[in-house]
Structure 1
């Protein structure tokens, strides 16, 4: 595996903090959400950063390489175009699924892939397809999980290791996600660092979160806690990362606070000391003998198809079908209110469902900031949107979701204030170019759908 280009210490570029990012002292590089930029019309702030020699790396969130379907060729082409436009040394994505084909549903966020042989086979083939299509190397990020899959066959470390061995893909290790999985799934982050192939490390993410009711939420909207910096320090004791990046996506603090967090990261990733000696642990135990609650059992021996020097076999269609059925059942429970699949923690599924709905409301408000204004503020907007979303899963992305939400309100003769309703009607017509359908039209659509 070729040596990764040095990146240094950077921050996630977001439009809300673009000016502050340009002023941050000693900034080496930035990462940008790939889906939020257009290759032919790059933001002026990113262009100025590039002119200063600041590297820009596109970070995708919508490929869903862990899903049962093969990656979408148009999405791959779009990600590649952004890498070329930015002169990026690599692109990154996630080990996650974000949608299902049957039923046709969108999660609107990253969901964990089941750690099974079937899912690993599907993921590996999807990664190879992506690697063949992209003009630069690909790195994949471990994600945070609120819910464990029942019947998992591999630990996270074994899953990541075999993924690297079978595809040659690089890893983007998010140390905040390792902490999240420690709290939510009882997984030892240091055991993961000990077991994964750190020679495949592309770079590292650092972010903040918050604990509520015994569940850690990876919000990217809170300061980086000391426990996350401790995991970063442990990683640094094992390897010198080519880059470390601070993620902040909401509730942006003052510029001085961002600079302080970057300084704290620099303090951790200075010259490495010797790796600390760690006592070996028996299977199912952390060093010191404490239980690894929720951890998967030790993996079975690797199959001949994945032995070194042999070309791994791709998944047969039956494996994709099995993975798709499992993911579809979970996603439907999360966003469409269907029964929770057997073996899942129902309380955790409810927590995840609420988190997805809140995320959906927040993204729609960012894409269509006029909607909270029309509805009288953030609280009335959120209440109305969550009521709408309860029985209307997203199927075609956030922009379509905003239009569907507005249509839903207008069909119900909402908002109640006539002036606000006229504003919403005007907003809807400006984007759709037609008069909003009346209630009778919506009923007719429903009847036709049932008849079909």
Structure 2
């Protein structure tokens, strides 16, 4: 397994800080956020210095009922080649549901959702992983995800599920210790038990990230400092195996560079403590992180793959529809947790649309968020965040106040027209929107002689 060392998630907001940060051996970039023909200058400079860059995909949906989309796989392969990456990574998750398998509209989650740990889901996942491996020019590693809810009737633990996935496909693992901690709080799962069951020799690297707890639910925010319980899980992992690489993830609420460096130092300290603990163990105990056979697994299973895909597709479509379209929660699910997940998906959707279309919050001001959340309750996302922004603006064109309709219409034309307008026109339009917002929110001077 290739040694990676100490890494950090590369984001445009901290690009300069990452370039100056001492001791960074590699970075990870969200694959969908870079264009192979126009790589950010910061990434090019890092590569010239010998820093490894790994693309991390978020949209394949390898745990979904459908086979991986050929276009998405080709795009991920193109990014791996453009970055000279030694491997690519994705998630054990589903991100969309519906379509031909279920004869229902395709719905997008806009987020990573957990797959049921069942034989049907495992069979589908294994086939999807093999398809992806054949399409990619470098090895694939898959990440365990954080979840706010559990599926009823699961047949395997997370450790068993991932171990059999590795045994059947040879895929590598990206172990996220923050997600193991999240699942301890939200689903009562013991990280130590999961680590003890994993084939740790298959680990490609490790993710570490922060979050926060509210009302008994842990939110994997990637916007808060790494807490001690996550560092403890990292130490436990490092006591079982020497991870080839450890990476700090931060996606929002970026602190000063010095704070990021302190977090990296804390991560290195957790790994060091784990290694020291391993040194004090007996040889038998130190070797316990190897591949573990799944007890009671049948040697052969007769199963129709298409039937498994259909069953999984129906189940995932029902769950996603409950989360984003307001349909009833399927039997056996925790309705409170599903409600928490639904609200989290809507909030993330509003936040991401605000980032991909920053002019909309400028035009709408404080009304942006409530207006978008009201729209989201009526219109599930079906075509990604950029399409969502256009649909939201189009939705408002017939409903919003006349004084803002012109700015919305101009923005919509600029984004949806047959050809992009010039950057100068877009800049003038954004300035006009800001001026309009100031006029519509400024205190109105009462005319002379008016009474209340």
Q: Which TM-score tier does this pair reach, normalised by the shorter chain?
A: 0.7 to 0.9
> How does 1:58-97 map onto structure 2 within 5 Å?
58-97=55-94
Q: Is contact 1:100–1:106 with CA below 8 Å preserved after alignment? A: yes
Q: Helix, strand or coil for the counterpart of 1:273?
A: helix
Per-residue deviation, 1:277? 7.1
The structure number with the bigger radius of gyration is 2
- Structure 1 pair 75/204, CA: closer, same or farther in 2 (3 Å)? same
Q: Is contact 2:73–2:135 with CA below 8 Å preserved after alignment? A: yes
Note the alpha carbon deviations across 1:167-211, whole angstroms, 9 max, x for none: 000000000000000000000001111111000000000000000
Tell me which residue corresponds to 2:346.
357
Note the alpha carbon deviations across 1:283-319, whole angstroms, 9 max, x for none: xxxxxxxxxxxxxxx977212237xxxxxx7752111
- Structure 1 unmatched ranges of 5 or more: 279-297, 307-312, 435-452
Tell me which residue corresponds to 2:53.
56
Note the alpha carbon deviations across 1:213-267, whole angstroms, 9 max, x for none: 0000000010000110010001011111110000001111111111111111122
Matched, 1:305 2:300: yes
Indicate the larger mover: 99-108 or 46-55: 99-108
Provide runs of 4+ in structure 1 moved above 3 Å: 274-278
State the number of aligned residues. Answer: 401
Tell me which residue corresponds to 1:328.
317
Q: Helix, strand or coil for the counterpart of 1:107?
A: strand
Q: Distance in 1 between matches of 2:152 and 2:294?
A: 15
Q: Is contact 2:164–2:294 with CA below 8 Å preserved after alignment? A: no
Q: Distance in 1 between matches of 2:47 and 2:308?
A: 44
> How does 1:104-119 map onto structure 2 within 5 Å?
104-119=106-121
Q: Is contact 2:65–2:124 with CA below 8 Å preserved after alignment? A: yes
Q: Distance in 1 between matches of 2:402 and 2:206?
A: 50
Q: Helix, strand or coil for the counterpart of 2:272?
A: coil
Which of 400, 413, 423 lines up with 1:429 in the alignment?
413
Tell me which residue corresponds to 1:193.
195
Q: Is contact 1:374–1:423 with CA below 8 Å preserved after alignment? A: yes
- Structure 2 unmatched ranges of 5 or more: 283-292, 419-452
Note the alpha carbon deviations across 1:338-368, whole angstroms, 9 max, x for none: 0000000001000000000111111111100
Per-residue deviation, 1:411? 1.6
Per-residue deviation, 1:155? 0.4
Q: Distance in 1 between matches of 2:83 and 2:134?
A: 20
Per-residue deviation, 1:383? 1.0
Q: Distance in 2 between matches of 1:94 and 1:429?
A: 36
> How does 1:186-335 map onto structure 2 within 5 Å?
186-270=188-272, 272-275=275-278, 301-305=296-300, 315-335=304-324
Q: Helix, strand or coil for the counterpart of 1:105?
A: strand
Q: Is contact 1:35–1:61 with CA below 8 Å preserved after alignment? A: yes
Matched, 1:25 2:22: yes
Matched, 1:5 2:2: yes
Q: Distance in 2 between matches of 1:130 and 1:314?
A: 21
Q: Distance in 2 between matches of 1:58 and 1:186?
A: 31
Q: Is contact 1:155–1:299 with CA below 8 Å preserved after alignment? A: no
Q: Distance in 1 between matches of 2:161 and 2:186?
A: 18
Tell me which residue corresponds to 2:335.
346
Per-residue deviation, 1:428? 0.5
Tell me which residue corresponds to 2:147.
145
Q: Is contact 1:154–1:299 with CA below 8 Å preserved after alignment? A: no
Tell me which residue corresponds to 1:401.
388
Q: Distance in 2 between matches of 1:194 and 1:183?
A: 19
Q: Distance in 1 between matches of 2:225 and 2:303?
A: 42
